Amino acid sequence: MNLSVLLSELGRGMLVSIEIFVLTLMISLPLGLVIAFGRMAKHRIIRTIFKIYISIMRGTPLMLQLMVVYFGPYYLFGLSLPRGYRFWAVIVGFGLNYAAYFAEIYRGGIESMPLGQYEAAKLLGYGKAQTFFRIILPQVIKRIIPAITNEVITLVKDTSLAFVISVTEMFTVAKALASAQANMIPYVSAGIFYYIFNFVVATTMEKIEKKLSYYR
């Protein structure tokens, strides 16, 4: 197999990896904020439920979670799911997992805000929702960008775990090509692809962080 064919095959796998990456962020970032609210709820039962959820998501392997999401409906309820469900099982599994990590990052950022911010907003006539979304959240996002960046970079590499339920992303393609050719070139090429992907993500996040650091 010549280099152009190799890069073409890996490129197709890379597109699947990018799809997983983008869709996971679209689900997990807003869901993480909702879970963070649940984790900080005043009601003890609600707070405990979300605490247990976060503990399970962070305490068990993502690979196992993907298998549960994919095989669970059949073994638990006898449901025969369409073939396309394989890809969406990956998205659901990744989304639920990363939402738990983002929830704790959000929680740390929200709880780090001084109480004076809330008191000042109340004096100015802001409601609770207005205070949070107009005053607190923008500051929280600025504070948590480095931690979010770490998780986003980890997500780029974790997309390779989709192979566990036979979703053909870039790592799966590289493994198949390496087996067919009996050499390491596909793996090396995949490593370069992952590095470029991560470099672009890290550079983008750095620019966002600098843009939000408007007091420096």
Mean pLDDT of the chain: 87
Q: Which two tokens stand for residue 149?
A: 């960046």
d(CA 22, CA 155): 10
Residue 36, H or E segment: helix 3-39
- How many of the other CB atoms lie within 10 Å of CB of 2? 7
Q: Indicate the range of 87-91, 129-133, 152-156 predicted with least confidence.
A: 129-133
Q: Which domains are delineated in the chain?
A: 3-212 (1.10.3720.10)
- Of 42 and 181, the structure prediction assigns the larger pLDDT to 42
Structure confidence at residue 181 as a pLDDT band (50, 70, 90): confident
| Residue 103 pLDDT exceeds 90 | yes
pLDDT in tens, 35-54: 999 999 989 999 999 999 99
Q: How far apart are the first and last CA of the chain?
A: 52
- Give this prediction's pTM: 0.89
Q: What does the alpha-carbon distance between residue 214 and residue 34 come to, in Å, rounded to a whole number?
A: 27
Confidence band of 1 (pLDDT split at 50, 70, 90)? low
DSSP 112-144: TS-HHHHHHHHHTT--HHHIIIIIIHHHHHHHH
The percent of residues in the chain predicted with pLDDT above 70, rounded, is: 97
Question: What pLDDT, on a 0 to 100 scale, did the predictor assign at position 67?
Answer: 92
Residue 85, pLDDT score? 86
Express each pLDDT in 200-214 by its tens digit.
988 998 888 888 775
pLDDT of 184 reads: 83
- What DSSP string describes 65-99? HHHHHHHHHHHHH-----TTHHHHHHHHHHHHHHH
